[in-house]
Amino acid sequence: MANRIRLGMMGGGPDSLIGIVHRIAAYMGERYKLVGGVFTADYDLSKSFAEELELDVSRTYSDIDSFIEGENKLPENERIEVITVATPNFLHYSMAKKLLQAGFNVICEKPVTFSAAEAQELSDLVERTGKTFAVTHTYTGYPMVRQLKTMVAEGVLGKIQKVDAQYYQGWINPFIHEPEKRKQVWRLDPAKSGPSCCIGDIGVHSFNLIEYTCGLKVKQVLSDIDTMYDDNPLDVDGTVLLRFENNVKGVICASQIATGEENSLKIAVYGEKGGLRWEQENPNYLYYLTEDKPLQILKPGHDYNGDFAKESVKLPPGHPEGMFDAMGNIYSGVAKALRGEDYHDGAYPNVTDGVRGMRFIEAVINSTKEGNVWKEI
């Protein structure tokens, strides 16, 4: 196996949940070594965090510009190779852009930008620089999502004729009903969150999951999104009618006011030969429905799965893996790309997924704004 990949981080400091998710994911495959970064805006705090992690503090920088300058002075075989961008959303675009321009590979939290145009700009930059750029659509890292993708690609379902994805959460309910409480939620602030709350935060995961697993592109959307209150600027709920290539239809149902729901992301894909269903909250079960045979439930760790799913599991059947493991699989995919190894299509979500996602969000917003009309993606 090749040398450890030198990893840096923008954000992800002491109080960041997503920071530790990324670090654990990087540890899991034993292919990365965290070296440094800008862990938080407060330089002193950033350095003490580096000490806690027992890193060489000289590799912790005050800001992204000094990071780029400092690292680029180092010999190539010491320099940080890939940087995880885990800062607040509004910084993703500018940081990712600077890093790419300076010759670094990037693992970027979602959303990559606040607009499709910016996302396209990053995409062009990725193409021009030839760098690796991953977007952490974590759910694509689950082994049974990958098995779903494989089975669709192998034609197990035949021609797809209906797609249904749902993403229901309830966490905004306690805040939405009073303007004062809404201020506690940064996702309801357009300056921090971008042009959408519900669709941008979770609806886009459903969209990504659909395109990732089905290999179909959504052509048009017609949405009815809802802010619940006139003085609330961002959507907290929305249903999106989908039209794919080949006249296939589908639907995405997303909500953050589905009170009591935790993180209920589900997908169902139906073709002329059968159906497949998956649910994020029980990620180790893939339901395969046919007309004339018993319902089948595929689980990780079995030989009956395809290679992609098999490579995405560390434990034998019956030993549950979870969301860290899914994120770890994405880091492994990036590691393979960085080291020039073979990897499966979909081993990590890339900048194109980022662009598609931003186009979806914009089309959904505009569809409702213009009176629930069809918009092209």
Copy the structure tokens of residue 289. 């429905």
Copy the structure tokens of residue 257. 């006011």
Copy the structure tokens of residue 109. 């939290």
DSSP H or E segment with residue 128:
helix 116-129
The size of the chain, in residues, is: 377
Instruction: From 126, 169, 151, 189, select the one nearest 286 (Cα to Cα).
Output: 151
Binders of a second copy among residues 80 to 119 (CB under 8 A) are none
Q: Is 257 in the site for a second copy (CB under 8 A)?
A: yes
Q: Which is nearer to a second copy, 128 or 249 (CB)?
A: 249
Per CB under 8 A, which region of 89-97, 114-122, 204-212, 291-299 contacts a second copy? 291-299
Choosing from 81, 109, 211, 237, the residue that interacts with a second copy (CB under 8 A) is 237
State in angstroms the smallest separation of the CB of 255 from a second copy: 6
Binders of a second copy among residues 16 to 75 (CB under 8 A) are 17, 20-21, 23-24, 27-28, 30, 33, 52-54
State in angstroms the smallest separation of the CB of 302 from a second copy: 7
State in angstroms the smallest separation of the CB of 263 from a second copy: 3
Choosing from 61, 288, 331, 360, the residue that interacts with a second copy (CB under 8 A) is 288
Binders of a second copy among residues 135 to 164 (CB under 8 A) are 157, 161-162, 164
Buried b (16+ CB within 10 A) or exposed e, 217-249: ebeebbbebbbeeeebebbbbbbbbbbbeeebe
Q: Are 165 and 277 in contact (CB under 8 A)?
A: no
Binders of a second copy among residues 292 to 351 (CB under 8 A) are 292-299, 301-304, 314-325
Choosing from 72, 101, 260, 369, the residue that interacts with a second copy (CB under 8 A) is 260
* Coil, strand or helix at 359: helix
User: How far, in Å, CA of 218 to CA of 210, rounded?
Assistant: 9
Q: Which is nearer to a second copy, 186 or 304 (CB)?
A: 304
Q: Which is nearer to a second copy, 49 or 114 (CB)?
A: 49
Binders of a second copy among residues 165 to 184 (CB under 8 A) are 166, 168-170, 173-174, 177
Q: Is 221 in the site for a second copy (CB under 8 A)?
A: no
Q: Which is nearer to a second copy, 71 or 237 (CB)?
A: 237
Question: Tokens 């920088």 label which residue?
Answer: 61
DSSP H or E segment with residue 253:
strand 249-255
User: How far, in Å, CA of 231 to CA of 363, rounded?
Assistant: 22
User: How far, in Å, CA of 272 to CA of 186, rounded?
Assistant: 44
Per CB under 8 A, which region of 115-123, 125-133, 208-216, 366-374 contacts a second copy? 366-374
Q: Is 186 in the site for a second copy (CB under 8 A)?
A: no
User: How far, in Å, CA of 21 to CA of 43, rounded?
Assistant: 22
Choosing from 115, 120, 129, 263, the residue that interacts with a second copy (CB under 8 A) is 263
State in angstroms the smallest separation of the CB of 125 from a second copy: 31
Residues 6+ apart with CB under 8 A from 228: 176, 236, 237, 257
State in angstroms the smallest separation of the CB of 67 from a second copy: 21
